[in-house]
């Protein structure tokens, strides 16, 4: 499993990238607003993220109509070679994905909540598909079960004719709220988990590691 950092915060990205575990970054309009981002600086900001990370950086189009999404997508893709255009799962988004894929632009189909949506995204030519876990749990449903079904359903078919250069589609487990989510997604075979830095920190921690470290340090004092 690969890990992406789910943030638009440059300091968080720089810090997490130094840990060696980050293979990419995902952003969304909320994450950009959260760091006080402004529309006029959006493309520059994505460029800065692309310079910090040696891997795919998802930047979202906020357009609602297919031609506008394609125009947005082409502009975003021109920022850096590692930009991936995030497109919402909806009819206009599918049409735009087909068009962007034809231009060789990788698309991360986002806000995916069902197997039929994921299958349609795959047929439209998406490079990445992002089922959301936490938001599904928030409506008293089972986000992890949904990821499991999507991984299984996509694995049943060959989508190489739909994707750019026949690349394999990767499932990004998104809206990840805990290290437990990460464990379960890894066991289900999700390709990537995109995680906030808080979850990444929790993934490193274990009480037995802390206890073991404390006892080693105490014993080491005895040999001084
Ligand atoms: C990532 O691609 C998503 O935008 C993100 O994981 C959403 O997470 P949230 O549901 O915690 O906002």
DSSP string, 16-51: HHHTT-EEEEE--HHHHHHTT--GGGHHHHHHHHHH
Q: Please, what is the average pLDDT of the chain?
A: 97
pLDDT tens for 59-105 read 999 999 999 999 999 999 999 999 999 999 999 999 999 999 999 99
Q: Tell whether the torsion through CA atoms of 16, 20, 21 and 23 is positive or negative.
A: positive
> Is 166 near ligand 1, meaning CB less than 6 Å away?
no
> Is 132 near ligand 1, meaning CB less than 6 Å away?
yes
pLDDT tens for 136-179 read 999 999 999 999 999 999 999 999 998 888 899 999 999 999 99
Could you give the domains of the chain?
Answer: 2-223 (3.20.20.70)
> Is 108 near ligand 1, meaning CB less than 6 Å away?
no
Distance 84 CA to ligand 1 centre (A): 16
Predicted confidence (pLDDT) at residue 50 exceeds the cutoff of 90: yes
DSSP string, 165-217: GGPPPEEEEBS--SHHHHHHHHHHT-SEEEE-HHHHHHHH--HHHHHHHHHHH
Distance 78 CA to ligand 1 centre (A): 24
> Is 117 near ligand 1, meaning CB less than 6 Å away?
no
pLDDT of residue 164: 87
Specify the pTM: 0.96
pLDDT tens for 175-200 read 999 999 999 999 999 999 999 999 99
CB 84 within 8 A of CB 55: no
Q: Which atom of ligand 1 is nearest to the CA of 172?
A: 2
pLDDT tens for 14-29 read 999 999 999 999 999 9
Q: Ligand 1: which of 9, 28, 29 to mutate, judged by most atoms within 8 Å of the beta carbon?
A: 28
Distance 190 CA to ligand 1 centre (A): 16
> Is 26 near ligand 1, meaning CB less than 6 Å away?
yes
Distance 224 CA to ligand 1 centre (A): 49
Candidates 2, 34, 38, 86; catalytic one? 86
Asked if 38 is an active-site residue, the reply is no
> Is 135 near ligand 1, meaning CB less than 6 Å away?
yes
DSSP string, 95-164: HHHHHHHHTT--EEEEEE-SHHHHHHHHHHT-SEEEEBSHHHHHTTS-HHHHHHHHHHHHHTS--TTTSG
């Amino acid at each position: 499993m690969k890990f992406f950092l789910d943030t638009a915060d440059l300091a968080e990205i720089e810090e997490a990238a130094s840990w060696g575990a980050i293979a990419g970054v995902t952003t969304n309009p909320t994450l950009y607003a959260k760091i006080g981002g402004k529309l006029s600086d959006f493309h520059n900001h994505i460029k800065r993220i692309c310079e910090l990370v040696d891997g795919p950086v998802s930047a979202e189009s906020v357009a609602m109509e297919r031609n506008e999404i394609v125009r947005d997508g082409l502009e975003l893709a021109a920022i850096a070679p590692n930009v991936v255009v995030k497109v919402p799962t909806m009819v206009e988004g599918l049409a735009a994905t087909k068009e962007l894929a034809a231009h060789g632009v990788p698309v991360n189909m986002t806000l995916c909540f069902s197997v039929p949506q994921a299958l349609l995204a795959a047929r439209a030519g998406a490079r990445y598909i992002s089922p959301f876990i936490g938001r599904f749990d928030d409506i008293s449903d089972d986000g992890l079960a949904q990821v499991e079904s999507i991984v299984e359903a996509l694995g049943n078919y060959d989508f190489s004719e739909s994707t750019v250069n026949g690349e394999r589609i990767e499932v990004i487990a998104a809206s990840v709220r805990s290290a437990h989510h990460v464990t379960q997604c890894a066991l289900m075979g999700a390709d990537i988990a995109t995680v906030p830095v808080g979850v990444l920190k929790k993934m490193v921690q274990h009480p037995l590691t802390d206890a073991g470290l404390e006892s080693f340090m105490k014993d080491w004092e005895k040999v001084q």
